[in-house]
Amino acid sequence: MPVMLKESVAGLNIKPKGIYVDVTFGGGGHSREILSHLHKGSLFGFDQDEDTLNNIPENSQFTFVKGNFRFLKQFMRYYKVDKLDGVLADLGVSSHHFDSEDRGFSFRFNSRLDMRMNQASEMSAYDVINLYEEEALADLFYYYGEIRNARLLASKIVSARNAGKIETTSQLREIAQTCTNKKQEMKYLSQTFQALRIEVNGEMKALKDMLVQAGELLKPGGRLSVITYHSLEDRLVKNYFKNGNFSGDAEKDFYGNFISPFSLVNKKVIVPDGEELEMNPRSRSAKLRIAEKN
C-alpha cells in the first residue's frame, strides 16, 4: 500500500503535459497515481530490483528504468530529457522486501544475510558482517542505526564470527539480543538491521546524489516530493530543501539575505493521518516534505 499516496502526488502539482520521475517505483502505486493525472505527459519510473518488473503498467506514457536513482541525471540524458516538472521519492523499503523470507531484510525470518536491493551487487550483508573490521562495524551501527552501544554490538559480532561465519539473520538477531533488554529489543533489532541495509545499498550517498541531481534537473516551479522513514534521511532532505546543502548551514548573499534553490511547499512536515496509520501501521514513521524549485 503506497504511503501518503494522495498527499505526495498532490504535492507535485502535476501539469498534464509535464515530465515526471518516480525514482522509487517499487509496487508502482505512486506511479499509477501520477499517470492518472497526465495527458500527453511522460513518467519515468526507477528501480534496481528485478522483482519490480512485474509491476510495470501498460501505459505508453510510462518508461521503466532499471537502475539506481543515484544515476538520475545520466539516465535522463540517455532519454534526451533536459528538464523535469517533478520528482517523487518514497524512500521506504517496500513491504515486499520485508515480507520476503529469502532476501534477508527482516529479522522475522531465518534467511541468509543478504539485503541487496540490486541482486547483481557484489556486497551483501553477509560480507559486511563477516569481513568488516570491528571499528568499521561500530561506526556503521552508530551512524546508520543510531545505536548507542554500537561498540558492544560490533565486539560481540567479531567474537561470534571468530568461532564460525555468521550466515543467517537468526544468528545476527541472537547476537544483537544480548546487547539490549527485552523492553527495547524490537527497536534495537530494527536499528541493527536498518544500519546494515543502509551500508549494503549505499543508501545515504545515493540519496544525496539523487537530491542534487533532481534539483539540477527541475524547471523553475518544478516540485520535489520526498517521503522519509528515519531521522538520517529526513535530516538530509530537510537541510537540502531549506539551504540547498546537507550541512544545514544557510548561505547568504552580499546583502545578508538567505539563499536557497527551493521554496518549502509545506512549512510543517506532513505525516500520515489516523486512518492511514490504522490501515498501514508501517507508515507510522513516514514524513513527507515538498519543495519547489525557485
What pLDDT, on a 0 to 100 scale, did the predictor assign at position 109? 75
Residue 104 and residue 112: Cα distance in Å, rounded? Answer: 6
Please give the model's pTM, rounded to 2 decimal places.
Answer: 0.90
Residue 156 and residue 141: Cα distance in Å, rounded? Answer: 13
CA distances from residue 30 to 36, 82, 283, 285, 294 in whole angstroms, order as listed: 10, 23, 15, 18, 25
Residues 22 and 44: beta-carbon distance below 8 Å: yes
- Domain 5-95+203-293 fold is Rossmann fold (3.40.50)
Virtual CA dihedral for 217, 95, 52, 143, nearest 10 degrees? 50
Q: How does DSSP classify residue 191?
A: H
Beta partners for residue 158, in sequence order: none
Residues 261 and 240: beta-carbon distance below 8 Å: no
What pLDDT, on a 0 to 100 scale, did the predictor assign at position 98? 47
**pLDDT of the chain along its 294 residues, tens only?**
899 999 999 999 999 999 999 999 999 999 999 999 999 999 999 998 888 888 999 999 999 999 999 999 999 999 999 999 999 999 987 554 545 565 656 667 789 998 888 888 889 999 999 999 999 999 999 999 999 999 999 999 999 999 999 999 999 999 999 999 999 999 999 999 999 999 999 999 999 999 999 999 999 999 999 999 999 999 999 999 999 999 877 777 777 777 889 999 998 999 999 999 999 988 999 999 999 999
Beta partners for residue 88, in sequence order: 22, 225
Residue 44 and residue 31: Cα distance in Å, rounded? Answer: 9
Specify the domain boundaries for CATH 1.10.150.170 within the chain: 107-201
Residue 283 and residue 106: Cα distance in Å, rounded? Answer: 17
Residue 238's nearest CA partner among 207, 212, 269, 217 is 269
- Domain 107-201 fold is DNA polymerase; domain 1 (1.10.150)
Specify the domain boundaries for CATH 3.40.50.150 within the chain: 5-95+203-293
Residue 255 and residue 250: Cα distance in Å, rounded? Answer: 14
83: cell is 528538464
